Amino acid sequence: MHIHILGVCGTFMGGIAQLAKAMGHRVSGSDANVYPPMSTQLEQAGIEVMQGFSPDHLQPAPDWVVIGNAMSRGNPAVEYVLDQGLRYTSGPQWLAEHVLHGRWVLGVAGTHGKTTTSSMLAWILEDAGLNPGFLIGGVPENFGCSARLGAEPFFVVEADEYDTAFFDKRSKFVHYQPRTLVMNNLEFDHADIFDDLAAIQRQFHHLVRTIPGTGLIVAPGRDGNLRQVLDKGCWTPVEWFDLETEGGWRVAHMTPDGGQFDVCFGDEALGRVEWELGGRHNVSNALAAIAAARHAGVPPAVAVEALGRFKNVKRRMELRGEVKGVKVYDDFAHHPTAIETTLHGLRAKMQTGRLIAILEPRSNTMRMGVHAEQLPGSLKLADRVLVHTPANLGWDASQVFSPLGGKAALFGQVEAIVQQVKAEARPGDCVLVMSNGGFEGIHQRLLNALGS
């Protein structure tokens, strides 16, 4: 069967392409923005990727066209699919029907931490010898790929609340029907498709309705927004986690940087994690992953040992290089809460030096200015803040960042940021780049400039 994927270089759709290829299908795809790491993965998998969305890419007609949620009416390839009556479906629907059906699905949902928690969970199952399948919105360094079929029954999926496709406005995760569900947290995001928090909560409750009574929901005890979701009706057992709670999943004797901590369930200590990661947010992610893995049959002591060998995810506090004593990190943070927790985690790891934060407000929600008022507070732990201000930014960046005073500087061109860092950075400093896109290859450009 020949499957052609529109929007193939997105992390989710690229994962779909790799799964379809592993199932023996001929797979091709089209996209407007082709850049690593997904382009590299697709090339290595032998998947033909075509630039742009020409109808020529669909000639001769494939057996199925899988359409990503970034595609909209008016796109030449989409219009051709509809005009010619080609068979089409969405990525989540294809995944549900061809991969997830009949498997024990472990879904990880939430505004923040989905990718990292999914990667932890997949690695715990792998380290326990269960060979899980997975589809994750990033590249876990323990695996080197974002998706694989694995062996039955277990399949870990990052359960995104973003909409499914232009013809299906339900959240992606409604299709997955997990047996084990992690809900990490819930805040307002994706203002381009959700009018308010209540609209997102409605989708989360649709997800809750799909979990069987013999399944398990793992949720944070202090998240009021998720409590409201579950209060609408829940037919599945819930296990709560929280760093400080006296019941449920919790931690004890945590070091300030989060590099070591004891895992407890109620009054019982189950083991001590000693790992490369840090930050309270990652400790919280670890608790959720351990709880979900136990539901799949992995003893917590085994999960704790596995996390000691966990190597994180590309673009999640990823050290891209160190030049002349200056470290350059890459992180996917693009929401004020994620920005603040990322800065907190790095600050806790730093011994000396300054923290230079570079931010690209790239997501649709960020460009709309929905979280603009929260940005200065989220960046307060940085010693220096350099912000890229593209022409399509829908708010006054100079006014928004004025509370940071001389700590913040705005730049219309990426090269200007590179030169500013080159002029300012000194040994012991950490440069943290935060963007959910390629950011014009700024990471390598910074390393090159610092070394010149």
pLDDT at 36: 67
In a domain, 155, yes or no: yes
Same domain (yes/no): 265, 351: no
In a domain, 313, yes or no: no
By residue count, the chain amounts to 452
pLDDT at 393: 80
In a domain, 159, yes or no: yes
Alpha helices in 34-139 (DSSP H): 38-44, 76-84, 91-95, 114-127
Same domain (yes/no): 39, 82: yes
Same domain (yes/no): 440, 303: no
In a domain, 255, yes or no: yes
Same domain (yes/no): 378, 278: no
Which of 442, 439, 438, 436 lies closest to 418, judged by CA?
A: 442
pLDDT at 37: 67
In a domain, 380, yes or no: yes
Segments in the chain below pLDDT 70: 35-37
Same domain (yes/no): 44, 176: no
Which of 162, 155, 161, 160 lies closest to 178, judged by CA?
A: 155
Same domain (yes/no): 281, 133: yes
Whether the Cβ atoms of residue 388 and residue 358 lie closer than 8 Å to each other: yes
In a domain, 286, yes or no: yes
pLDDT at 369: 72
DSSP 115: H
What domain range is 253 assigned to?
102-307
In a domain, 312, yes or no: no
Same domain (yes/no): 161, 270: yes
Same domain (yes/no): 196, 228: yes
Last residue of a domain, one of 275, 307, 339: 307
Same domain (yes/no): 221, 339: no
For residue 34, give the CATH number of its domain. Answer: 3.40.50.720
Q: How many domains does the chain have?
A: 3
The Cβ-side half-sphere exposure at 115, using a 13 Å CA radius, reads 21
Distance CA 417, CA 438 (A): 15
